[in-house]
């Protein structure tokens, strides 16, 4: 799950970055409306957290341009406490939810979970595939009801594979979903994560098949 934070207040942005990274999301941050617009036009995200009071290009303009490109990306708008008018404008322009500052990080995380689920077209918090279960609320995975010890990267990788179980996921898609800008995560690193993940989950009747030159596919193994 990849989240873009467009927020120019560095204290708020860092709090958000820390909280969402701890919760296992890949997070990028930009500090102006023009940067937000450029990032949204050229990268794939699962959620946008958008401060409306951004320099260079107002948050409402960022949102208008995003929807103008036909994007249905879930958007959580952050507004000053007293700006009811802006909140209404934001919702009219296609924001999915809003939070007034100051907000509790706990509540924000809950809304982020709800919005990213909605973006996948499912309200389910638990994904099951054969003996594997992924619980998006606690970001934990189980194999045959036993919790699997996974790093934040491994759990994000498993989440992507589970969301597309039985279908091909390309290495580029994995890199795009898992990496944050500036991170040196190459296709080779993805291979290493896949290797570690295999060791942890392939005791059961499930495997991560390599589709040579194309990517990976999470499969059930016929009994
Ligand atoms: Ca601001």
Residue 171 in 3-state DSSP? helix
- Spacing, Cα 8 to ligand 1 middle (Å): 5
Residues with CB under 5 A from ligand 1 (ion): 8, 51, 53
Q: If residue 210 lies in a helix (H) or strand (E), which one and from where to where?
A: strand 206-211
pLDDT along the chain (223 residues), means of 10: 94 94 91 97 92 95 92 90 81 89 90 80 71 83 88 86 86 77 72 91 86 88 69
Answer for the pair 28, 6: CB distance below 8 angstroms, yes or no.
Answer: no
What is the distance between the alpha carbons of residues 173 and 158, in angstroms, rounded to a whole number?
13
What is the distance between the alpha carbons of residues 12 and 14, in angstroms, rounded to a whole number?
6
- Spacing, Cα 14 to ligand 1 middle (Å): 13
- Spacing, Cα 13 to ligand 1 middle (Å): 10
Does the pTM surpass 0.75? The reply is no
- Spacing, Cα 75 to ligand 1 middle (Å): 16
Answer for the pair 76, 49: CB distance below 8 angstroms, yes or no.
Answer: yes
């Amino acid at each position: 799950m990849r989240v873009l934070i467009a927020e120019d207040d560095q204290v708020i942005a860092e709090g958000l970055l820390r909280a969402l990274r701890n919760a296992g999301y890949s997070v990028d941050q930009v500090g102006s409306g023009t940067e937000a617009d450029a990032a949204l036009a050229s990268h794939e995200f699962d959620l946008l957290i958008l401060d409306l009071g951004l320099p260079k290009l107002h948050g409402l303009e960022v949102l208008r341009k995003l929807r103008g490109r036909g994007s249905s990306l879930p958007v959580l708008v952050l507004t000053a406490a007293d700006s009811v008018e802006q909140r209404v404008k934001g919702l009219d322009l296609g924001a999915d939810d809003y939070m007034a500052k100051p907000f509790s990080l706990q509540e924000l995380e809950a809304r982020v979970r709800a919005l990213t689920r909605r973006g996948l077209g499912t309200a389910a918090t638990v994904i099951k595939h054969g003996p594997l279960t992924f619980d998006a609320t606690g970001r934990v995975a189980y194999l045959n009801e036993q919790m699997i010890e996974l790093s934040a990267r491994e759990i994000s990788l498993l989440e992507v594979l589970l969301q597309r179980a039985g279908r091909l996921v390309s290495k580029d898609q994995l890199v795009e979903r898992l990496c944050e800008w500036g991170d040196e995560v190459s296709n080779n690193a993805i291979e290493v994560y896949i290797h570690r993940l295999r060791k942890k989950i392939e005791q059961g009747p499930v495997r991560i098949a390599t589709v040579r030159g194309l990517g990976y596919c999470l499969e059930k193994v016929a009994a």
